[in-house]
A and B are shown apart, each in its own frame.
Chain A
Amino acid sequence: MAEPGEWTGTIGRVVLGATKGEGGTRSVQYCIGGSRDLPFLPDEAPCGRRPLIALEICDDPALWPAVVKEYIGALADDPAAWAREAERTFGADLVRLHLTSTHRRQAPDLDTVGKTVEAVLAATTLPLIIEGSGDPALDSEVFRRCGEAGAGERLLLGTAEADRYRSIAAAALAYGHAVIAQSPIDINLAKQMNILLREIGVPADRIVIDPYTGALGYGFEYSYSVMERIRYAALMGDTDLAMPVLSAAPDSLTVKEVRDAPPAERQERALSWEFHAAFPAAVAGADIVCVRHPLSVKRLRDACAALTPGGKGTPVQGGG
């Protein structure tokens, strides 16, 4: 067990979002990573750090959690308006757009996909995470359109997996974006995924690790431990794991305990269920934590503020 100050590794930095000065249109740029101790210990990061909170939205809410649709009403059918509220009302640091319209059985209209990305970019000034189709047959075209629509904005594109990463990597390299590298709750597979991306030319400072997060009560403990192991390995000097980490537990709001909750209790239980996976992910070292319920953003932000000395803490901004 290394003591504080004895670690040999540092978590690499990744820059997200481009302001006018950097050739984009975002109002803020984030530089994540840079930690050099276990999360929230005194020596962790030279300039203080708190995780960024991303609110997830989508362009086809058919399979989106019912508790979110009930809360946001008509926004669910208007990704641009939804993204605008994520910034103005809900207080997110990032917007993560899932292109769920591409998950439909019939072939999606790819022109519409590109237009949606443009509309969301125009509606919010926050840096964006964009999730592609999840279907290798569509990926290449979807990522090309996303990449193109967001050229110069330093998007974070998701999600590269072991059997489909070439087209996302190509889009990231062609248009200057970063990528999410996902592996199924396994430190060795996480490492392998990063090596695969590096081999085809994606530099380490464009990779964010997503170790996959199971919902609370449904495998969350495996994800929690994998995040701790990744941070530990990186601090011990493993550069193939020394990237920032993103955590999203997409099933938090649809688990049985939320679906079956008494109606009067459902929203609070949903929020608390999402919180008790999102906050522990931050404690385990996630640099970006994604949530789906708008009310989770502030709740999580307050909680994370409690972890930084003096209770304040701000994202590290600017600089590349």
Chain B
Amino acid sequence: MALKALDIYKLLPKKNCKECGFPTCLTFAMKLASGKADPDTCPYLDEATKHLLKGATRPPIRRVKIGVGERSFAIGEEIVLFRHDKSFVHPPGILFQVPDLQTAEEIRRVASRVKDEVFPRVGELLRVNGIAIRNDSGSPETFGKAVRVVEETAEFPEVLIAGSPASMEAALAECGNYRPLIHAATAENHGAMCALAKRSGAPLVVKARGIDALQELAATCEAAGVQDLVLDPAPETTCEFLQTATMIRRMALARTAPELGYPVYLDATVPGREEATLSLGILKYASVIVTTPREPASLLPALTLRQNIYTDPQKPIQMTPGIYRVNNPAPGDPLLLTVNFSLTYFTLLGYLESSRIPCFLLLVDTEGFSVLTAVASGKLNENLIRDSLQRFGVEAETGHRILVLPGYAAPLSGRVEEATGWKVLVGPRDAAEVPEFLEQSWKKAAPGGSPGPAPGP
């Protein structure tokens, strides 16, 4: 279990000798409790106490880095069971699997996709993280060759999947310096696999079915001196993965089983129903997910789900407040007000762009709140709207004084007219209906229709 600073303090020598680098034993205890100090730096602790403190003070789930360079990614360091409790930290790496029996050309084609395919979405670049090469041939030579083909294509993280230490050694000869993830140490081969992991400094997957077997094997590999472990509970069904991964996360966070304090691996190709398994792995605690090379049509939604789930729930993604021009508007074109919550903006923008109606969007600063929540909390009010109209010099842009409010802000319309002197139109609640609204209501409201000459102030 996790220890509080005072519990740790009781175990320390209380000499305040400063040899650990901290001014007092109490400071050292507080640093240990928050995982920011190492018990080894105290020269006066006996081995038993050090062992106890290490179990109690290390992060609940170890950080493991896979790959090197720009495309490398870190996993682990998760601290909650539900994203709403704080946030999930490191999005799972998703890797395309290729069997080593495929031709060099086929392997190269998948590797090129991993290298080049990228989907820009709301300001981020979504992509697959790397390649998992599987030793279906059983031959070290074929496996080594397949890894070489991948290495020739690009530098991105790899998972090496082989049960035979001889095959693994051949693959590591090709890419051992680039921190590939070794899959996997099992009850049969763990001695040799641990030796390979230590020699190459690469992280190692421990594979065993069931929590108890996994815990035991992880402890064995730890004792053999491998620090960067990843756990593969080898589920036979998707349901089994959900249940086992939940149990591992719970026990790791509660620190009841330090040997389970490592990130989790999921081979989504194994239990069948790969799309569901991939989706579940993203939601429920997988940190490395291996799939077949999925076509873009179904890959993009999975990557979008990962982006959603790993967005920090306490920090809404915000846009900079100001005037946004859509479809090259001219003075006299409609002006719509909305909030600076990025999802609201991108949703509305999508509909407006496809409608091809030129218009101005005024994004006011609701600190990333949606329209509904900004109205409910009072953040979106007539004063903010009046100040925003002035601050961004809106009238000079639009040449008219007609403002379209979102449907959910309808209760504000009277007060906005009074505070700003602008005419207010209430638009629909649903962004999908905005283009139709502009076609119909705006034309009626704006003298001369739209687009047209600006009405006088």
Contact = CB atoms under 8 A, between A and B. Distances in A.
Interface of A: 1, 3, 38, 40-42, 63, 184, 186, 214, 216-222, 224-225, 228-229, 232, 251, 254-257, 259-261, 265, 268-269, 272-273, 275-277, 279-280, 283-284, 299, 302-304, 306-311
Given A259-B354, A302-B273, A303-B273, A276 B279 contact: yes
Contact of A268 (B254, B276, B298): B298
B283 interface: yes
12 contacts: A216-B305, A219-B343, A221-B313, A224-B309, A228-B84, A269-B297, A272-B302, A275-B279, A276-B304, A279-B280, A303-B276, A306-B277
The A interface, classified by DSSP as helix, strand, loop or mixed, is helix
Given A218-B343, A232-B82, A265-B296, A303 B246 contact: no
Interface of B: 81-84, 121-122, 237-239, 242-243, 246, 250, 253-254, 271-273, 275-277, 279-280, 283-284, 295-298, 300-302, 304-305, 307-309, 311, 313, 343, 346-347, 350, 354, 370, 372-373, 432-433
B239 A307 contact: yes
A142 B304 CA distance: 38
B295 A268 contact: yes
Nearest to B433: A63
B242 A217 contact: no
Contacts of A38: 246
The B interface, classified by DSSP as helix, strand, loop or mixed, is helix
A307 B238 contact: yes
B305 A40 contact: no
A272 B301 contact: yes
Contacts of B305: 216, 220, 276-277, 280
Contacts of A214: 343
Given A228-B84, A268-B298, A283 B271 contact: no
A1 B79 CA distance: 13
Nearest to A1: B81
Contacts of B343: 214, 218-219
Contacts of B295: 265, 268
A221 B308 contact: yes
Most buried by B among A42, A280, A299, A308: A280
A268 to B, nearest CB: 4
B84 A229 contact: yes
Contact of A283 (B283, B298, B370): B283
A161 to B, nearest CB: 11
Given A259-B350, A272-B300, A310-B237, 5 more contacts: A219-B370, A220-B308, A256-B354, A272-B298, A306-B239
B301 A224 contact: no
A40 B239 contact: yes
Contact of B243 (A41, A256, A268, A306): A41
A302 B350 contact: no
B339 to A, nearest CB: 13
B243 A261 contact: no
